[in-house]
Amino acid sequence: MNTIQQLTQLDDLSFDNHFIRDLPCDTETHNYPRQVFDACYSPVLPTKVAKPLRVAYAHEVAELLDLSPELCLSEDFTEVFTGNRLSKGMESYALCYGGHQFGHWAGQLGDGRAINLGEIINSKGERWALQLKGAGPTPYSRTADGLAVLRSSIREFLCSEAMHHLGVPTTRALSLTLTGESVIRDMFYNGNRKAEPGAVVCRVAPSFTRFGSFQILTARRDHTLLKHLADHTISMHHPHLGIPSPTVYLAWFTEICQKTAEMIVHWQRVGFVHGVMNTDNMSILGLTIDYGPYGWLENYDPNWTPNTTDAEHRRYRFGNQPEIAFWNLGQLANALYPLIEQVEPLQAALNVYTTTFEQGWQTMMADKLGLICYKPESDESLFSDLIALLQRVETDMTLFYRQLAMISTQTHDDDESLILPLMTAYYRPEQLTADYKAHLLLWLKQYINRLQQDDNSDEERKTRMNSVNPKYVLRNYLAQLAIDKAETSDFTLINELLECLRHPYTEQPGNEVFAEKRPEWARQRAGCSMLSCSS
């Protein structure tokens, strides 16, 4: 068996910065806010900081990059991934893109607080782009400082890895570091500015190209560069589609629609709410990207959004995410139209999104309920009745599905014993009126009857259900507890959560506290219930 030789020096990383070699660069070299034309990126250096300190790193991501544990614990690792030094082969830059924000065209946006370090090729021949978030201003920072604070950086670091281990397509996070400097933030834009610890996350993905990367070029009628970027993206990330042509562009867009649908199905499966599904936050590879004011659905409420900026209209609420993804793909279709110049094939590709999502959702729900396959004649009403039940009283989504696996298909002594395994999922048991219990019992008996049609053992069903219904997710209050401790220089809970979230479907004796439903103190607390777009 061949063993991979792990690197002991960052200067030994193998960089192949094809993006900046192939695509045009901003000709202005000074770093100040401006409109950038005729370019896909701007060269910019990370801002050096006073006293970088490593808080945590993800060893699986380090392994992807062939980095040894000793290297990840070194001072040089901390210096490089906080932005104080560029290792050999790194060429830092910020991406230019635009986007629709809350449904309105915002023009140029770009990497306002993200600085790319380049693309490496690992020992398996895989391409990984490295990016620092919070490493200082770029030409796209507008009036902001390009920095990030510890609380948002902890949330991004932990959630990137939690989502990966849940099986959700996502960007990854290599490291979380402190800068040793303070950053001034007004968390809820209400005039209460305060100094917070500055931090940097190193994000890792095959590519950080977004829908907005193409939108900005079409908006500016720069069709030559639009084609250049599309050709580059296809050749680097979709080479199986062939040499770029109108037919290949269409096949590429169709694949984007399919992968986006698959990602959204996963979001709905685990109860993840992105919170800010602007088109500049949509990955061209169908990855979850940009962990800002995200949240985990605790009590099942399709109208919930974690984003205070979206509190009035709730555009990005949990139940609306499938429709928003479709709308965003429509904006990408408009951006790619100059390459294809036919409406009908683009609409057909969008229909692929709809079909993929609907079929994926049906299969996902069948899996969550432990059914061997989806049967429309019985399961459509079974699913819709369950969702109605979950909304009637305050029900913890994660716990409900996990506990549902405990239901026996054998004869029950009485109705109360049938309901008993689900009781831990209810936030307010007093809401379980006689009418609600009757409705729940009716559904459970229909569910058991449906399970008996599959002729599968309870143990086999439980195993299947527990493989798709996580026990451990990054509950909003857990992230906030980790933040509270970290702001006193205690990073133990960050690393404990990171370890726990590596095994979200596994029973973990001693970690049950991380599976408990939201405590009452967290119901309305900032950081646990709602967040802003502020870092």
> Does 235 share its domain with 206?
no
Quote the Cα angle for 180-182-183, to 5°. 130
**Distance from C-alpha of 158 to C-alpha of 111, rounded to nearest angstrom:** 21
Classify residue 3: in a domain, yes or no: no
| C-alpha neighbours within 13 Å on the C-beta side of residue 520 | 2
The mean per-residue pLDDT over the stretch 486-512 comes to 97
Q: Which of 88, 290, 90, 55 is nearest to 179 (CA)?
A: 55
- Please tell me whether residues 157 and 293 are part of one structural domain: no
Per-residue pLDDT tens digits for 419-454: 999 999 999 999 999 999 999 999 999 999 999 999
- pLDDT score of 1: 41
Domain boundary among 426, 455, 484: 455
Transcribe 140-153 into DSSP letters. Answer: T-TTS-SBEEHHHH
Active site residues: 280
- Indicate if 329 and 414 belong to the same structural domain: no
List of residues 6+ apart from 309 with CB closer than 8 A: 102, 276, 293, 532, 533
Q: Do residues 99 and 121 share a domain?
A: yes
Confidence (pLDDT) at 535: 47
Overall domain count for the chain: 4
Final residue in a domain of this structure, among 189, 211, 233: 211
Structure tokens at 24: 């045009």
* Closest C-alpha to 79, from 51, 120, 117, 113: 51
Cα 108 to chain centroid distance, Å, stands at 23
pTM, two decimal places: 0.96
Query: Where in 256-400 does DSSP place strands (E)?
Result: 272-273, 295-296
pLDDT at 534 over 60: no
Query: Are 186 and 228 in the same domain?
Result: no
* Cα 287 to Cα 176, 274, 311, distances in angstroms: 20, 12, 25
Confidence band for 527, pLDDT divided at 50, 70 and 90: confident
In a domain, 94, yes or no: yes
Residue 65 lies in a domain: yes
Range of the domain at 279: 221-367
Q: Is residue 471 part of a domain?
A: no
Amino acid 294 reads Y
Give CA–CA dist 498/504, Å, rounded. Answer: 10
- Give the closest residue to 365 by CA, choosing from 393, 326, 404, 328: 404
307: left (phi over 0), alpha (psi -120 to 50) or beta: beta
What is the spatial distance between Cα 187 and Cα 526, in angstroms, rounded to a whole number?
9
CA 250 to CA 348: how far, in whole Å?
A: 10
- The reply to whether 329 and 254 lie within a common domain is yes
Would residue 411 count as lying in a domain?
Answer: yes
Per-residue pLDDT reduced to its tens digit, 59-95: 999 999 999 999 999 999 999 999 999 999 999 999 9
Q: Are residues 204 and 303 in the same domain?
A: no
Q: How confident is the model at residue 191 (pLDDT cuts 50, 70, 90)?
A: confident
Q: What percent of the chain has pLDDT over 90?
A: 93
Domain co-membership, 228 together with 356: yes
Question: Does residue 297 register a pLDDT over 90?
Answer: yes
Q: Regarding beta strands 295-296 and 193-205, do their DSSP bridges make them parallel or antiparallel, or are they unpaired?
A: unpaired
**How does pLDDT run across 388-408, given as a tens digit for each residue?**
999 999 999 999 999 999 999
User: pLDDT, tens digit, for every residue of 161-174?
Assistant: 999 999 999 999 99
- Is there a domain that residue 534 lies in? no
Same domain, 361 and 380: no
Mean pLDDT of all residues in 195-209: 97
Distance (Å) of CA 348 to CA 212, 322, 366: 22, 17, 27
Mean pLDDT of 88-106: 98
Phi-psi region of 255 (alpha: psi -120 to 50; beta: other; left: phi over 0): alpha
Task: Tally the residues of the chain.
Answer: 535
